Each structure stands twice: as C-alpha cells, then as structure tokens.
Structure 1
Amino acid sequence: MESQTVVGGEGTELHVDVAGPAAAPPAVLVHGYSQSRLSWHEQFRSDLTDDFRLIAPDLRGHGASEKPAGSDRYRDPQLWAADLRAVIDDLARGDPVLVGWSYGGLVVSDYLAVEGTDDVAGVNLVGAITEKGTDAAATVAGEAFVAMLDDLETRDADASVEALLEFLDICTADPLSPRERHLMLGFNARCPPRVREALQARSGAHEDTLRALDVPALFTHGSADRVVLPAAARRHADLVDDSDVSLYEGIGHSPFWEAPERFNRELREFTRRVVTD
C-alpha cells in the first residue's frame, strides 16, 4: 500500500491510500460521515489487491485530508465532484467502480450529477444515502442516529467523544471488539464537529441522477442497519434500470467490516462483470 496526496476542489489536499497493480481495474472506495479511508481496512488487507487497484481517499474534512474552514466547502456538490474527479484522474487507469458507503453515497451521487458516467464502470452504494434535507431522506434515517446528531456536533470535547462512541455502537449489529472500537474512535475524532455539522446541514436530492444512471449499480445493505434503514436500498434500486440489491441478513451499517468475505467476493464479482461489459 502507498499513500498519495491529491489536490481536489479549491486546492484542498486529499490524503489517499492506494493498493494493487497500477494497471488493474480500479475501485474508488468512498467512506461515510465522520469516518476515514481506514474504514476499508478489510478490503486493503484482502486478496482484492491482487487483481484490482483499490483507491481510498479521506474525504475533505476527514482523516489526514485538509479541513478547510467554512461550512459552504462541505455543502457544494461541485466541490465534492471536483475532489473525486482529482482522485480518479490522478490515480485510476481505466474507468473505476465507485463504491460509496453511507454519506459516501451522496458524494458519489454528487460526482455522477456533475461529471456523468463517461469514465465510470459501475456504482456500488453500501448502506448509502443519496439525498439530505428532504422528506425522503428523513424516512430512511435511523431514529437512533438522528437522536445523537446534536451531541455529535457539540464543541465539548468530552461530550463529543461519548457521542462518537455511541455512534460507533450503532454502526455494527454486533459489538465491536475493544481494539476495533478504539481504532474507529481515533479516526472519527479527526473529523471536527464543525465539519460534521456542515455535512448534516446540507440539502439536495439525486433521484434524477439515479434515474439517468446508465451503468450497472449494486446496492448493498445490512438488514439490521440502524443508521440508514434498509428501505433506502430498495428505493434506490427502483430508480435504476440495471441494478441489484444485496441484503445482508443480521448485518448492520458496515457490511464491508462485519462480513468482509462476502462483501469482497461480491465487489470482485461486480467489478469483473462491469469491466468486462
């Protein structure tokens, strides 16, 4: 694995991890709200890197990437699209599969709305949202997650840490090990509360973007997801002509972490199919 710095929208520096043969079919793995490229640990340590080029950025405001001031820099679809555009242009040889987890589904949708699909082989949305600030978005937001948003945005350090631990507890169906919980707390804490607040305050919808999608899509979701309800996957699939839903029974918001063998197998199969097609 190697680390790169890519310059995204408005000159924002993005930290990106890359693994796998440079000329192999690429998959760009886009993490969710308050998370990090390290969320994809189980993919980077797997044999996916023998056959595919895995590219995982820290989104702006997250992890080791730059955290520009001003809430507008986290609400503009053009900036999110520019960030992914830079990652793809700099690090992908060939059309990638875009994998968006949770809030990362909104970022991927921003890219599709702005840039289209000319350089995209397929889309895999995982426990994902594609809109914010709408009635439809509210219907698929888990009650436990919504209830903790104020605490996740607090500037009180102690309260913020406690809220992050509660958030991590609902990201999986079964409890994390102490080591996993500590690791995830560390990288979630690198996302400042002001960024988390800005992410939640944006609005916009991508129903038309999904209706117009002309590449294959896979919607992966855990049946026990308490952050984004499973109904989101079916709603998304109903909008896309060439789509499949993969429902993980008894799995929560993080299928790639909770059931990595299945997730990796399905990502491998999907990537091979869409690249071949």
Structure 2
Amino acid sequence: MAVREVTGTDGTSLVHRTFGSETAPVLVLIHGWAQSSRCWGDDVLDALARDFRVVAVDLRGHGYSQAPETGYDDRALWAGDIAAVLAAENVSASNPAVLLGWSYGGLVICDYLAEYGSDAVAGLVLVGAITSIGRGEKGGRVGPAMRAAIPAAMSEDPREAVKALGSFGHALTGPVEGKGAVSQALFGVSLSTPPRVRAALFDRAVGNDELLAELDVPVLLLHGDVDSVVDVSVAHHAASLLRRATTSVWEGVDHGPFVEDPDRFVAEVGEFARRATAEAATREDHEQGSMEG
C-alpha cells in the first residue's frame, strides 16, 4: 500500500491510498457522506487489488484530506478533486479507469463526468448511490434512516450527533451477525467528519438525468433492496436513463453491500470491471489501428 497526496484546483490537500500492481487496470473507490477510504475494509481492498490497481480516495472534508471552510456546493471543485487523483495515477483516455462510487460518491462521479467527460472512464459502478440531489430529484431519493438522521446528524451538539449517527450507522452494516466492530468503526469515521462538512454536503441542488441519458460507458448499478439511506428506486431510475446499465439488486441488504457480503461484492465488482477495462482496451486498439491505417 502507498499513501499519496494531491492538490485540488482550489489548493485543497487530498489524500488517497493505492493497492496492487502499478501496471494493473485502475479501479477508483469513492466513499460516501461522512465516511472515508477506510469504509471498504482491508479484506475488500486486498481482494480487489489482486486484479486491479485500487485507488481509495478520501474526499475533501473527510478522512485525511483537508477540510476547507467552503466549496462543498461547487461542482467544479469536486470534479477537479477526482481529476487530480486520476492524473496522479496516470489515468487517461489511453489508460482509462473504472470509477466506483458509494452513496454520495455517485454524485461526485457525476460532478467529474459533467466537467471532464468520460474519455478516461472505462466504466462506472454505483453502489447504493445517488446521482442527483435536491427536492424532487428522483436520483437523490433518500430512505427512512437518512430522513431520521437529518438534521441531528449535522449538529455540533455531541449528544444529538452521537444519537443520530449511531442509528444511521446500523444501516451501513445491516442485520448481519458479527459486524459490531465494523459498525463501531464506521460510526467513528462519521463522528470524526466535521459537523460543518456533514451539513455542507447537503447544501446543494443538482440534477444529472440528462448526463446519465447521454453516458456511453457501461454502468453497474449495485443496490440493496432494503436500503434505508438511499432508496432502491434511485437505482431503478438510473437504469431507466442509462444506455448501458446492468442492475444487481441484493435481496435483504441495506446500505453497505460490501460490509454485509464482501465476497459477493468483490466478485460482482471484479467481473464487471474486468469486462469494462477489456472493452476499453479493445476500443483503444481499434481506434489506434484506424489512425495508423
């Protein structure tokens, strides 16, 4: 594993961790609201790193990345953050990456696509992810656990925040035996995310339906059917818009599929990412041959 630091377009320091071979296809993992690159768990990261160069990002305001006072409502800044990480990992049109976004990470991926396009993207994986945010946006419909946590989860009063984030944290692990330590770890990450950042991430409104409808890369939509944070209807809405969507709805699973069934998560993500990168390589070879011809 290597820990690397890049700088966003506004000077914000951003940290990401890398796993696996430098020459393997790149898989970028983007976490959700009030989490960090630690959310995936060592076992998932190590398993994915057998076949991919895994890049696990700490978004601005989260984990070890810097938490600026403002800018969380600026699409260009979120997009620039991802672009900086991709550039540092030598991702380009000739070496595209698969981008995986969980929860709020799906919205950040849309920010990147809106600003930079999909030339450097082999495929997308959206895990319990929103693609839009704001009142009436079908791509941002939240579930009962998220509704119950707001606004107390953003409070600076520790009594309010601990109670709200504690109940919210159960949705990340689901009703699975033996996940107590994981639940506490995820809860700790949420609590360590500054309250002003927790609040600022919801202080924006943006729709991405048109962007999804025009997207020309393969997309895997992976969602639990009892997701209490991001309603499963969000995945079905995205599937109705996307040209090349594969939908995997997990029965009885809440907001953290990679926590509830890490082996299945690694298998499904790995299979999709291998196909997407192979397709992108074939397309690049064909385009290169056409230019030479």
- Relative to the length of structure 2, the TM-score reads 0.90
Deviation of 1:137 after TM superposition, in Å, equals: 4.2
Aligned partner of 1:61 in structure 2 is: 61
- Letter paired with 1:89: A
Contact (CA 8 Å) 1:220, 1:247: kept in 2 or not? yes
Q: How does 1:69-108 map to 2 (within 5 A)?
A: 69-70=69-70, 73-93=71-91, 94-108=95-109
Contact (CA 8 Å) 1:2, 1:17: kept in 2 or not? yes
Q: How does 1:212-223 map to 2 (within 5 A)?
A: 212-223=214-225
Once the two structures are superposed, residues 103-144 of structure 1 have per-residue CA deviations (whole angstroms, 9 ceiling, x without a partner) of 000000110111100100001101010111130248721123
Contact (CA 8 Å) 2:18, 2:55: kept in 1 or not? yes
Inter-partner Cα distance in structure 1 for 2:175 and 2:73: 33
Aligned partner of 2:18 in structure 1 is: 18
Unaligned runs of 5+ in 2: 280-293
Aligned partner of 2:136 in structure 1 is: 135
Q: Are 1:38 and 2:38 matched, yes or no? A: yes
Aligned partner of 1:224 in structure 2 is: 226
Deviation of 1:181 after TM superposition, in Å, equals: 2.2
- Letter paired with 1:232: V
Inter-partner Cα distance in structure 1 for 2:164 and 2:145: 12
Once the two structures are superposed, residues 156-205 of structure 1 have per-residue CA deviations (whole angstroms, 9 ceiling, x without a partner) of 12321222111101223215633112211221122111111111111101
Inter-partner Cα distance in structure 2 for 1:208 and 1:139: 14
Q: Are 1:207 and 2:209 matched, yes or no? A: yes
Contact (CA 8 Å) 1:221, 1:246: kept in 2 or not? yes
Q: Say what the alpha-carbon RMSD is for the aligned residues.
A: 1.4
- Letter paired with 1:151: A
- Letter paired with 1:258: E
* Fraction of identical pairs, as percent: 40
Unaligned runs of 5+ in 1: none
Instruction: Could you list the structure 1 runs, at least 4 aligned residues long, displaced by more than 4 angstroms after superposition.
Output: none
Deviation of 1:267 after TM superposition, in Å, equals: 1.1
Inter-partner Cα distance in structure 1 for 2:224 and 2:55: 23
Q: How does 1:243-254 map to 2 (within 5 A)?
A: 243-254=245-256
Contact (CA 8 Å) 2:172, 2:259: kept in 1 or not? no
Aligned partner of 1:28 in structure 2 is: 28
Q: How does 1:228-243 map to 2 (within 5 A)?
A: 228-243=230-245
Aligned partner of 2:115 in structure 1 is: 114
- Letter paired with 1:69: E
**Secondary structure in 2 aligned to 1:135?**
coil
Aligned partner of 2:286 in structure 1 is: none
- Relative to the length of structure 1, the TM-score reads 0.95
**Secondary structure in 1 aligned to 2:49?**
helix
Deviation of 1:276 after TM superposition, in Å, equals: 1.0
Tell which deviates more after alignment, 75-84 or 190-199.
190-199
Return the index of the structure with the highest Cα Rg: 2
